[in-house]
Amino acid sequence: MTPLAELLARRIEAGGPITLADYMAECLLHPQHGYYSTRDPLGRGGDFTTAPEISQMFGELLGLSLAQAWLDQGSPTPFVLAEIGPGRGTLMADVLRTIRAVPGMAAAAQVHLVEASPALRARQRETLGPQVAWHDGIETLPEAPLFLLANEFFDALPIRQFVRAGTGWCERLVGLSPEGALQPGLSAPAPLAALAHRLADTAEGDVVEICPAAAPIAEAIAARIARHGGAALIVDYGGWHSLGDTFQAVQGHATADPFAAPGDADLTAHVDFEPIAAAARRAGAAASAMVPQGVLLERLGIAARAERLARGLSGPALESHLAAHRRLTHPGEMGRVFKALAIHPQDQPPPPGFEPAPRLTAPE
């Protein structure tokens, strides 16, 4: 048993089974034993990799989209350039390098990072230097035009899972086996107002997920963008809304049992973009249509950028550059399962690469 498994087992013994969200929160962010609190999972020999770690092109192209949105909004100066869940700081470094080509933009940018992990804050300081500010949440970001990035952040937020039972739902909980090991189980069925709208598109036994923290975060971002201008680019794997069990553990680049080694494996779930878009609209901002990552990067010109970068390369470096391009965009790799959504002011067009949500068909 990991030290965290011992702690959780004692907590469950005393207070009964816990929700998947409580379990996930402890596994990822427990101050002493949490997965993110204690390590850099993206480093060499780490457990997983992400788009900005695969190629500089990802950050360059998202940076260009933000830069054009900043120009289109009249170059507000100063402005907050923020990232939530910045990992090793690679995406922000690529964005900062890119916006240096835009007169006045880098000088106007105040970099603010929302990061829960002390280990990753230290890594971000190494990458970006001391001229950035850290926050525990969105709420403390300065009140100013906000240009924000979130890549693979929302998938790390704790989810609750429910299994359809008649017109009610059983919640998946974490309890203990007779031998005292952590073991998933189900609560008794009960009706749930928050899932009333899912009775229409689910059948007996179907699993649906909700991420209670996602909408408040999206709402806080959108409220700032509605008040001060700006844009948020959100990229993650997932879809409009979930159907099925997407809760997964990854350790050493392979999927693992999410209950086997709490604190030692990354836990994620697919991101639902519908509640993020709905929260943004509630807060008075606009949400774009959801677009697959591959399509977004094509629209932003990845083919031309990839060709330009390839000119300086040969041998294994060229091979790896071509593989990275394919990995980011190909529908069989990250191109289709990863989606992107932009939040922007109602009186502004979506940032380049994004299209407005279709007015009549966008489900709220």
53 is a site residue for ligand SAH (CB under 6 A): yes
Smallest gap, in angstroms, from Cβ of residue 4 to ligand SAH?
A: 16
- Residue that has been written with the tokens 């469950």 in this structure: 12
| 114 near ligand SAH, judged by CB under 6 A | yes
DSSP three-state, residue 224 = helix
Strand (E) or helix (H) holding 82: strand 79-84
The DSSP annotation for 90-149 comes to HHHHHHHHHHTTSTTHHHHEEEEEE---HHHHHHHHHHH-SS-EEESSGGGS-SS-EEEE
The residue among 202 and 248 lying less far from ligand SAH, judged by its C-beta, is 248
Is residue 85 involved in binding ligand SAH (CB under 6 A)? yes
Segment lying near ligand SAH (by CB under 6 A), choices 81-89, 240-248, 297-305, 306-314: 81-89
Return the number of the residue (49 or 187) whose C-beta is nearest ligand SAH: 49
Least spacing, CB of residue 57 vs ligand SAH, in Å: 14
CB of 256 to ligand SAH, least distance (A): 17
Q: Please state the closest distance from residue 250 (CB atom) to ligand SAH, in A.
A: 11
User: Which of 26, 47, 94, 115 is close enough to bind ligand SAH by CB under 6 A?
Assistant: 115
Closest distance of CB 137 from ligand SAH, Å: 7
Distances (CA, A) of 85 to 71, 114, 117, 156, 188: 25, 6, 9, 9, 35
> Which residues make beta-bridge pairs with 160?
210
Beta bridge partners of 92: none
C-alpha dihedral over 160, 284, 296, 141, to 10 degrees?
Answer: -80
Backbone conformation region of residue 352, classed left if phi is above 0, alpha if psi is from -120 to 50, else beta: beta
**Helix (H), strand (E) at residue 281:** helix 273-282
Residue numbers 127-156 binding ligand SAH by CB under 6 A = 151-153, 156
Q: Judged by CB under 6 A, which of 57, 91, 279, 357 binds ligand SAH?
A: 91
Choice between 148 and 174, CB closer to ligand SAH = 148
Query: Where would I find the beta strands (DSSP E) of 142-260?
Result: 146-151, 160-165, 168-176, 182-186, 207-210, 230-239, 248-251, 254-256
Instruction: Give the footprint of ligand SAH on residues 203-232 (CB under 6 A).
Output: none
User: CB of 342 within 8 A of CB of 354?
Assistant: yes
Cβ closest to ligand SAH, residue 58 vs residue 79 = 58
CA distance readout (Å), 257 to 38, 53, 199, 276, 363: 20, 25, 29, 28, 34
Residue 86 CB, nearest distance to ligand SAH (Å)? 6
Please tell me whether residue 5 binds ligand SAH under the rule CB under 6 A.
no
Q: Does 50 bind ligand SAH (CB under 6 A)?
A: yes
Nearer to ligand SAH, 9 or 296 (CB): 296
Q: Give the nearer residue to ligand SAH in terms of CB position, either 80 or 170.
A: 80
Q: Write out the residues near ligand SAH by the rule CB under 6 A.
A: 28, 36, 42, 50, 52-53, 85-87, 91, 114-117, 120, 151-153, 156
